[in-house]
A and B are shown apart, each in its own frame.
Chain A
Amino acid sequence: MEVAEPAGIYVYSDTELDRAEGEAIESLKAHCQQPIPDPDEWLEEEVRRNILLTSIDFMLNWARRSSLWPAICFPACCAFELIAANASRFDLSRFGMEILRASPRQADLMITAGTLTWKMAPQVKRIYDQMAEPKWVIAMGACGISGGIFRSSYNVVPGYNRIVPVDVYVPGCPPRPEALIYGIRMLHHKISKGRAIEG
């Protein structure tokens, strides 16, 4: 049997872009060996606020927590529990979360559903950097918290908190949608304690 040799089939693009990507990964890997501390200072803070500021804060926080739009960052298995949470039975849209913004610039919340590899890490960091303030991160699943079952692998980042600061950890492999919703409720509590105006 003669193998037809289609023209142009085996022409691939140059490796320059790949090399640049590799360098980015290596430099990120060198910089992100320690976990980033969780942004939890608000827990200790007790501040005196007057009534006006409190009610403004209340309104802003209410708005923020009522319309958390998740960014799309679903590397692996947990994504399907996240989609299940979004689907009819668990229905995240009750909390106004059904708008999955594909563009990170319009999203508020990154739900990191799945294992993070070093090759993926620069992109996740980039998504996080592209999101507009205020922004939050939920680390979903064992892989997102610590690398989980794949922690000992050569290409797996042991937890998203090496790359981005994480607000809420939802354990499980994968967490059930109920667990995810509980995590989101916890994030709501956290948001409602935030202060928009220093005082």
Chain B
Amino acid sequence: MILALSGKEVAAQLEQQFPGSIIESSENNLLAKSESLLDIAEYLKSSPELDFDYLNYITAVDYYDYFEVVYQFTSLKHNHSLVLKTRCYDRENPTVPSIVRLYQGADFQEREIYDLMGISFNGHPNLKRIFLWEGFHGHPLRKDYL
């Protein structure tokens, strides 16, 4: 059974490492500031007792007021997982740092979110439309897409 790590415990660890990076944490997930996302991901990946080497998925949800980007990591070695979230409140030009340099598996998923949700990922090497064509108007998965 994959053990879902408690967000609170990990949050405590992270708070020590990067003060002020966690906004809130619950049993299931933890919500991080988007600026410190890259640091957190790097720590999650390199810390020996966490060792999150596998990125399950990235997705984004449109809550009208803000976009929530959800990451789930798994450690194949320790068999535990963690859900990490971040939010961006800018509707016009939402930006989140890209984690492609750490997890190459994020490549297509970040492009997908850019295409369908319109969130751009800072530092992604090839951020362009993936499913729809260049010149398509709007981002279909946004709730206000006509």
Contact = CB atoms under 8 A, between A and B. Distances in A.
Query: Are any A and B Cβ atoms less than 8 Å apart in their complex?
Result: yes
B132 A18 contact: no
Interface string B122-146: 0001101101111110001000010
B45 interface: yes
B28 interface: no
Task: Give the size category of B's interface with A.
Answer: 10 to 19
B78 interface: no
Interface string A11-34: 110010011011101100000000
Chain B interface mostly helix, strand, loop or mixed? loop
B43 to A, nearest CB: 11
**Interface range for A:** 10 to 19
Interface string A149-171: 00000110000000000000000
Given A1-B45, A10-B126, A12-B126, A23 B135 contact: yes
Contacts, number: 40
B46 A1 contact: yes
A18 B134 contact: yes
Contacts of B129: 18
B133 A154 contact: no
B23 interface: no
A23 B46 CA distance: 45
B135 A22 contact: yes
Interface of B: 45-46, 53, 100-102, 125-126, 128-129, 131-136, 140, 145
Give me the 10 closest cross-chain CB pairs, A-B, nearest first: A10-B125, A22-B134, A22-B133, A22-B135, A12-B126, A19-B134, A18-B134, A1-B46, A25-B133, A154-B140
Interface of A: 1, 3, 5, 10-12, 15, 18-19, 21-23, 25-26, 118-119, 154-155
